[in-house]
Amino acid sequence: MSSFLIRPGLRHFVSATTAVACLLMALTSASIAFASSEPIVLTGADRRTSISLDGEWASIVDPYFSGLFSFHHEEKKNGWFINYKAKAGDPFPTEYDFGTAPKLKVPGDWNTQRESLMYYEGPVWYEKDFTYEPKQNSHIFLHIGAANYHSWFWVNGQKVCEHEGGFTSFNCEITQAVHSGPNFVVAAVDNTRSEDNVPTLQTDWWNYGGLTRDVSLIEVPESFIDQYDVHLSRTEDEVIEGWVHVTGATAGTKVQVQIPDLNANSSAEVGVDGRAALHFNVKGLERWSPENPKLYKVVIRSGRDSVDELIGFRTIEVRGIEILLNGKPIFLRGITAHAEAPYRTGRAFSDKDAEILIGWAKELGCNFMRLAHYPHPETMLRAADRMGVLVWSEIPVYWALQFDNPKVFAKAEQQLTEEINTSRNHAAIALWSMANETPNTAARTEFIGKLASHARELDSTRLITAALLVRAKGSTKIVDDPLGKVLDVLGTNEYIGWYEGRPENADTTQWQIGYEKPLIMSEFGGDAKAGLHGNENQRWTEEYQANIYRHQLPMLRKIAQLRGMSPWLLMDFRSPNRPLAGIQDEFNRKGLISDQGEKKKAFYVLQKEYQERNAGNPN
């Protein structure tokens, strides 16, 4: 039996069921029964005035999840977050103390901050003290940019929310928990993999755990703007349309939208559903494009609340086998990237990370990036907006999920909803991707088809895609996955010269596309260790990787429906599936650039291709 101290002067008693089954339930991230509000999504949360809680947080590694399942006498208190005043002469020992615990930086994964945690999967507790003076008649939210994978949050000992999903932002209302003066927040974050998670047990990237993106406090009035969608009409020239939702507003409450640089002003009234429809003319608008990534300040107001956004206005659509940007055909000269930090490795989160990654893509000649295999941080999307790169944004419906499990579908749908509702106003995002390399089964097709329908309900202004596997018949590659029926743009992954055949097999490969739709070759490539040289037939060398590209690119030019490509990939990234000592060393080495910024020979092969394509097509 134990009692626990969270910091000097505060006594924390912890208790829970003594059943081992409950311990196992916690370790598999099963739901813990607490009364708390559901987290909400705020569109453009990063555009609001906030108080940062980033920096050093106290941390306790808790592989048995003792913080939720411990006991003391007959007390029945859940977790390392219930505080009691220490009694003078209390004889019980202190078994945890955030005041003396080691620190972890937030944002950041725990794996690359502490060598002992590099391979750790399980719960880690975080604690941060802060001083706050809340305003009257307001809502206060704890904003979490991402926490991988299952997370729980308490403020001053009160449970404020629980969230599942490692790559989307969410907001916990803490209005009733926070008070004037000193406060503290405690979080438990568990990155344990599970069969019914999204993604599931098997992935080809590092399972970075922790508070991997920013944490802050956001304060809004009693009636506040939580969601908005402001975009250029596809069907009416120089018309801005969309909607604004105001939580706590009565029907008839006014919403105002201003674009100062265009002298554009519009107002509307919310209905009984809290939503106000937008539809107004603008004159002299410059359309956003990779060549001219023009962003406009957009001010959205309702009552005492306002949000100052930066939005680029453009249209993206499909006509036959063409992808049209602002009504004109475009070829997507792309590259794929993980949210892996250059140089330091670990999970990318900062403006600097984003600017380096996108800067490399621009140097390569890209106007497009596939951001795999999960939603990337807002810093990446903001940088894409201002630097002029179109984006494929994806949820982690990856490989073989439990497609016949309704609970798994609910998790995928939740992540898709959070992704779109958070990031829907980014001009850079052109495609919502529903999945990557999923098996061709009826359950899978129904599962992803429902996700595609849901995405269209949430956002009808963008294109729907997925990265499909192909089948082979002799030297012919066939794209006829039934999932293609529900997609606007087909994505296709293939690895001729690496996982199958030799690079020169691409020379005689033919493609049969079963749909009259545009095709993006969403993956191809091969591994090379930067600085390892040999002849073009020696695997793992820069020369072999470059040879793959030299044979792939002419093959791709022959595919009539090809309207883009995003080779795998921009930069090497950590993966536990890649243990080959002296070569991979737990990195996927298919990057055209090493994790330390060294450009490989294939970088220049693809760069030349994109220069030639750009010369023939200015888009």
Do residues 127 and 143 both lie within one domain?
A: yes
Q: What is the pLDDT of residue 97?
A: 84
Tens of pLDDT, residues 369-397: 999 999 999 999 999 999 999 999 999 99
Do residues 340 and 307 both lie within one domain?
A: no
pLDDT at 7 over 50: no
Strand order across the beta sheet in which 84-85 lies = 3-7, 10-13, 84-85
Q: What is the pLDDT of residue 407?
A: 98
Do residues 148 and 292 both lie within one domain?
A: no
Q: How far apart are the first and last CA of the chain?
A: 69
Question: Which of the listed residues 297, 312, 327 is the one where a domain comes to its end?
Answer: 312
Q: What is the pLDDT of residue 523?
A: 98
C-alpha pair distances (Å), 483 with each of 330, 391, 447, 516: 24, 21, 10, 14
Q: Within a domain: residue 170?
A: yes
Question: Which of the listed residues 312, 332, 356 is the one where a domain comes to its end?
Answer: 312
Burial of 234 (0-12, 13-18, 19+ CB in 10 A): middle
C-alpha pair distances (Å), 619 with each of 232, 236, 367, 388, 559: 20, 23, 8, 12, 19
Q: What is the pLDDT of residue 454?
A: 98
The CA distance from 93 to 101, in Å, is 16
SS (H, E, C) 273-335: CCEEEEEEECCCCCCCCCCCCCCEEEEEEECCEEEEEEECCCCEEEECCEEEECCEECCEEEE
Overall domain count for the chain: 3
Cα 167 to chain centroid, rounded:
4
CB 350, CB 604: distance < 8 Å: no
**Mean pLDDT of the 134-156 span:** 96
- Is the peptide bond between 149 and the residue preceding it cis, with omega within 30 degrees of 0? yes
Q: Is the dihedral of CA 445, 448, 450, 452 positive or negative?
A: negative
The CA distance from 166 to 25, in Å, is 19
The answer for residues whose C-beta is within 8 angstroms of residue 93's C-beta and 6 or more apart is 2, 3
- DSSP-based three-state secondary structure for 413: helix
Do residues 308 and 325 both lie within one domain?
A: no
Q: Within a domain: residue 273?
A: yes
Write the CATH number for 31: 2.60.120.260
Q: What is the pLDDT of residue 460?
A: 96
Q: Which residue from 374, 372, 355 is spatially nearest to 422, judged by alpha carbons?
A: 374
The CA distance from 65 to 45, in Å, is 31
Cα angle vertex 545, ends 543, 548, to 5°? 110
Q: What is the pLDDT of residue 65?
A: 86
Tens of pLDDT, residues 234-264: 999 999 999 999 999 999 999 999 999 999 9
Q: Within a domain: residue 391?
A: yes
pLDDT at 104 over 80: yes
Q: What is the pLDDT of residue 30?
A: 33
Do residues 300 and 354 both lie within one domain?
A: no
The answer for residues whose C-beta is within 8 angstroms of residue 207's C-beta and 6 or more apart is 121, 148, 191, 193, 576
SS (H, E, C) 479-519: ECCHHHHHCCEEEEECCECCCECCHHHHHHCEEEECCCCCE
Do residues 381 and 418 both lie within one domain?
A: yes
pLDDT at 32 over 60: no
Q: What is the pLDDT of residue 14?
A: 28
Domain housing 560? 317-616
C-alpha pair distances (Å), 358 with each of 249, 367, 383: 40, 10, 8
Do residues 361 and 507 both lie within one domain?
A: yes
Q: How many CA atoms lie within 13 A of 570 on its CB side?
A: 29
Do residues 333 and 356 both lie within one domain?
A: yes
pLDDT at 528 over 90: yes
The CA distance from 586 to 597, in Å, is 17
Q: Within a domain: residue 225?
A: no
Percentage of residues of the chain with pLDDT beyond 70? 89
Write the CATH number for 266: 2.60.40.10
CB contact burial 34-57 (16+ within 10 A = b; e otherwise): eebeebbbbbbbbbbebeebbeeb
Q: What is the pLDDT of residue 6?
A: 29
Amino acid at 416: L
Q: Within a domain: residue 163?
A: yes
The CA distance from 354 to 360, in Å, is 10
Q: What is the pLDDT of residue 79?
A: 60
Return the residue matching tokens 């949000």.
307
Range name among 31-40, 118-127, 465-474 with the lowest pLDDT average: 31-40
Tens of pLDDT, residues 146-170: 999 999 999 998 999 999 999 999 9
Residue 471 pLDDT level (bands cut at 50, 70, 90):
very high
Do residues 293 and 330 both lie within one domain?
A: no
Largest CA distance in the chain: 83
The answer for residues whose C-beta is within 8 angstroms of residue 284's C-beta and 6 or more apart is 262
DSSP 149: S
Do residues 301 and 398 both lie within one domain?
A: no
Tens of pLDDT, residues 401-417: 999 999 999 999 999 99
pLDDT at 550 over 90: yes
DSSP 201: S
**Host H or E run for residue 271:** none
Q: Within a domain: residue 218?
A: no
Q: Is the dihedral of CA 90, 95, 98, 101 positive or negative?
A: positive
Q: What is the pLDDT of residue 616?
A: 77
The CA distance from 419 to 428, in Å, is 14
Residue 69 pLDDT level (bands cut at 50, 70, 90):
low
Q: What is the pLDDT of residue 27?
A: 35
Q: What is the pLDDT of residue 28?
A: 36
Q: Which residue from 397, 466, 398 is spatially nearest to 431, judged by alpha carbons?
A: 466
Q: What is the pLDDT of residue 93?
A: 55
Q: What is the pLDDT of residue 29?
A: 34
Q: What is the pLDDT of residue 99?
A: 87
pLDDT at 328 over 70: yes
pLDDT at 316 over 50: yes
CB 610, CB 366: distance < 8 Å: yes
Tens of pLDDT, residues 52-68: 999 999 999 999 888 87
Q: Which residue from 494, 489, 488, 490 is spatially nearest to 476, judged by alpha carbons?
A: 494
CB 459, CB 482: distance < 8 Å: no
Tens of pLDDT, residues 483-507: 999 999 999 999 999 999 999 999 9
Q: Within a domain: residue 508?
A: yes
Do residues 134 and 274 both lie within one domain?
A: no
Question: Which of the listed residues 248, 278, 312 is the one where a domain comes to its end?
Answer: 312
Q: Within a domain: residue 221?
A: no
Do residues 489 and 407 both lie within one domain?
A: yes
